[in-house]
């Protein structure tokens, strides 16, 4: 078994115009001061990294990593959540997602998709230059507006949506295979890949591509009432990344899974800071250790109530407490005896 790496923190909810989050050096110093050992990097934020340079220059990547080394911090993965979302956008939400794109491609869905594909490919190449094994993204969504349809969906609609998703992602996954990098899709409501069934449908469309993998975030499964522990049993061979984010689901006679169009604090399902939700973290960390999960335990802070700085400080300690330092031997090794085939057969009544 392997010991998980961590704790790390995703900087997407922290980078901004005010110190210490206006620069990667000061953000790394802040994270190290809280006990974090790794950073997950939002590639759309130039304060964190210059994705174009990182994808084209090994020297830039070496210098960038050295800036983190000063603080005893490692980059654990690069994120293209926003860009990956734009690989596949249903026309109904074109305008809503335009803000994720570079200004020069906004209002032009075709150019925006081309830009997004290039961005994800750059993240893959930058990951290779940085010596990272995985990068995380969203799948985008063509079928999501039809997830609970009325009138019923026409025959073949979902099949065509996933076929198109496979066509768009296969060339990106081919680049990842060439670079030796895993593309980890965060399984997430709002994306066409939002549970195990949709993941399996997508994997079939990309012909089981070895570069297609999963970022496991149980908070999204708590809110769907999905068995997040069995999910690990089913897909552990594809789980290469891990967001440690808590959630709670408290339905009543007024609101349930769909949330009633309410703000986060008023929904039945809410993201919470670590330890404030309903997730069985002991069981999750145990399963991941049992399956030799190879990656980092990364805090993604999202909470309807608690301040993000408090959540980060508490989260570093929470993750460190739950990381299992795996045993180097069995607890009953002291009572073990050497193998003796003859004795074993006699004890089983097979000889004599």
Q: Where are the domains of the chain?
A: 5-347
Amino acid 266: pLDDT: 96
Amino acid 351: pLDDT: 78
pLDDT reading at 335 higher than 60: no
Residue identified by tokens 């005896």 is 337
Amino acid 331: pLDDT: 55
Amino acid 33: pLDDT: 98
The whole-number average pLDDT for the span 264-274 is 97
Flag the least confident range among 262-266, 284-288, 329-333, 344-348.
Answer: 329-333
What secondary structure letter does DSSP report for 252?
A: -
260-292 CB burial, b ≥16 within 10 A, e <16: eeeeeeebbbbbbbbebbebebeebbebbbebe
Coil, strand or helix: which one is 6? strand
Residue identified by tokens 């800071």 is 273
Structure-derived torsion over alpha carbons of residues 158, 166, 117, 91, reported in degrees to the nearest 10: -10
The whole-number average pLDDT for the span 211-228 is 98
pLDDT reading at 332 higher than 80: no
pLDDT reading at 342 higher than 90: no
Q: Determine the Cα–Cα distance for residues 340 and 100; give it in Å rounded to an integer.
A: 66
pLDDT reading at 104 higher than 90: yes
Residue identified by tokens 């007024």 is 254
pLDDT, tens digit (0-9, with 9 covering 90-100), for 280-314: 999 999 999 999 999 999 999 999 999 999 999 99
The whole-number average pLDDT for the span 186-210 is 98
Amino acid 327: pLDDT: 73
Instruction: Indicate the pLDDT class of residue 330, thresholds 50, 70 and 90.
Output: low
Percentage of residues of the chain with pLDDT beyond 70: 97
| Domain covering 5-347, topology | TIM Barrel (3.20.20)
pLDDT reading at 347 higher than 80: yes
Coil, strand or helix: which one is 241? strand
The whole-number average pLDDT for the span 45-58 is 98
Flag the least confident range among 81-85, 148-152, 240-244, 268-272.
Answer: 148-152
Amino acid 328: pLDDT: 72
Instruction: Indicate the pLDDT class of residue 246, thresholds 50, 70 and 90.
Output: very high
Give the pair of three-digit tokens for residue 77. 């993965």
Give the pair of three-digit tokens for residue 26. 């000061």
Measured over the CA atoms of residue 269, residue 306, residue 242 and residue 232, the dihedral's sign is negative
pLDDT, tens digit (0-9, with 9 covering 90-100), for 158-183: 999 999 999 999 999 999 999 999 99
226: Cβ–Cβ under 8 A, 6 or more apart, which residues? 195, 196
The neighbouring-strand residues paired with 193 are: none
Mean pLDDT across the chain: 95
Q: Determine the Cα–Cα distance for residues 310 and 307; give it in Å rounded to an integer.
A: 5
Of the chain, the end-to-end C-alpha distance in Å amounts to 40
């Amino acid at each position: 078994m392997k010991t998980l790496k961590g704790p790390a923190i995703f900087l997407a909810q922290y980078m901004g115009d005010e110190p210490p989050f206006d620069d990667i050096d000061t953000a790394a110093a802040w994270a190290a001061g809280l006990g974090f050992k790794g950073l997950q990097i939002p590639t759309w934020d130039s304060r964190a990294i210059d994705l174009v340079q990182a994808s084209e220059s090994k020297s830039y990547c070496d210098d960038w990593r050295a800036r983190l080394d000063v603080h005893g911090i490692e980059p654990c993965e690069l994120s293209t959540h926003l860009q990956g979302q734009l690989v596949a956008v249903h026309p109904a939400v074109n305008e809503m997602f335009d803000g994720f794109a570079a200004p020069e491609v906004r209002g032009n869905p075709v150019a925006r998709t081309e830009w997004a594909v290039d961005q994800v490919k750059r993240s893959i190449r930058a990951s290779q230059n940085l010596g990272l094994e995985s990068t995380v993204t969203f799948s985008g969504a063509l079928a999501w507006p039809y997830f609970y349809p009325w009138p019923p969906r026409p025959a073949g609609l979902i099949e065509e949506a996933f076929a198109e998703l496979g066509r768009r992602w296969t060339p990106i996954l081919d680049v990842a295979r060439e670079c030796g990098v895993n593309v980890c899709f965060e399984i997430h409501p709002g994306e066409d890949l939002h549970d195990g069934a949709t993941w399996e449908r997508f994997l079939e469309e990309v012909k089981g591509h070895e570069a297609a993998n999963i970022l496991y975030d149980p908070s999204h499964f708590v809110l769907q009432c999905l068995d997040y522990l069995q999910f690990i049993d089913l897909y552990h061979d594809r789980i290469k990344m891990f967001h440690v984010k808590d959630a709670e689901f408290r339905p009543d006679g007024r609101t349930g899974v769909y949330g009633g169009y309410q703000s986060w604090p008023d929904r039945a399902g809410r993201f919470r800071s670590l330890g404030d939700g309903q997730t069985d973290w002991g069981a999750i960390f145990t399963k991941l250790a049992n399956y030799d999960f190879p990656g980092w335990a990364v805090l993604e802070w999202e909470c309807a109530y608690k301040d993000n700085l408090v959540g980060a400080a508490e989260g570093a300690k929470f993750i460190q407490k739950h990381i299992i330092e795996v045993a180097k031997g069995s607890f009953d090794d002291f009572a073990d005896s050497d193998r003796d085939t003859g004795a074993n057969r006699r004890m089983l009544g097979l000889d004599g």
